[in-house]
A and B are shown apart, each in its own frame.
Chain A
């Protein structure tokens, strides 16, 4: 079975600083996708960034980047120049290549300190 682990229930960062959120996963598949979703208090899940397992290059989206370590099954999210609007729950998610459902971690609550 696929499992996704987020070991940091809560994190905080000073505005304009950088923070890294951790995620590890367990799978025997070779073809899969990894995602980071942001869930603000409004509950709307918003895709932050995604990574295809077959790509060696780490994905980047503006201030958001990932450190994908396939052998270690690690997928951390780095947020640079943190902004107040980044405060939210962040969920790491896994999707098997040919499958359909997402497997989510338990989330990390990020606080941004002005």
Chain B
């Protein structure tokens, strides 16, 4: 596609459920990022992939959060045993090459944990 897509756009989960959020980056983009955006806040970095390698996961808030990009394209962010504080918009972004400065963002997935 022409841009970064994410699915689902909205997800409601009961506390304790596991969720999986999908990101389809721009075709051919090497780098992929996940951010968490709480209500009224700016996005905060979660993790970064270069192709299939997860090079930085320092922003993941707990071991309940797990991300993968097995074939270097589509990525999935999984949250296990969701808690109310996980409620946020999860943004995915991709970048074409290491020299590019711009990250192209997807529309995000709004997760609400009840």
Proximity string of chain A (70-114) to chain B, C-beta cutoff 8 Å, 1 when within and 0 when not: 000000000000000000000101010000111111110000000
With beta carbons under 8 angstroms apart, the residue of A33, A104, A106, A107 that contacts B101 is: A33
Q: Does A42 contact B (CB under 8 A)?
A: yes
With beta carbons under 8 angstroms apart, the residue of A37, A46, A106 that contacts B41 is: A106
Q: Does A62 contact B (CB under 8 A)?
A: no
- Contact in complex: B48, A101 (CB < 8 Å): yes
Determine the distance from Cα of A49 to Cα of B20 in the docked complex, in whole angstroms: 33
Q: How far is the CB of B67 from chain A (nearest CB, A)?
A: 14
With beta carbons under 8 angstroms apart, the residue of A37, A43, A47 that contacts B89 is: A43
Determine the distance from Cα of A91 to Cα of B102 in the docked complex, in whole angstroms: 14
- Which residue of chain B lies nearest to A104 when distances are taken between CB atoms in the complex? B42
Residues of chain B within 8 A (CB-CB) of A33 are 101
Q: Does B103 contact A (CB under 8 A)?
A: yes
- Contact in complex: B56, A101 (CB < 8 Å): yes
- Which residue of chain B lies nearest to A101 when distances are taken between CB atoms in the complex? B45
- Residues of A in contact (CB 8 Å), total 23
Q: Contacts A44-B107, A47-B102, A95-B101; is A104 near B33 (CB within 8 Å)?
A: no
Q: Which secondary structure dominates where chain A touches chain B?
A: strand
- Which residue of chain A lies nearest to B89 when distances are taken between CB atoms in the complex? A43
Q: Contacts A100-B33, A100-B48, A101-B33; is A107 near B56 (CB within 8 Å)?
A: no
- Which residue of chain A lies nearest to B55 when distances are taken between CB atoms in the complex? A100
Q: Does A11 contact B (CB under 8 A)?
A: no
- Which residue of chain B lies nearest to A44 when distances are taken between CB atoms in the complex? B107
- Contact in complex: A102, B102 (CB < 8 Å): no
Interface residues of A (CB under 8 A from B): 4, 33, 35, 37, 42-47, 50, 52, 91, 93, 95, 100-107
Interface residues of B (CB under 8 A from A): 31, 33, 35, 40-45, 48, 55-56, 59, 89, 91, 93, 101-103, 105-108, 110
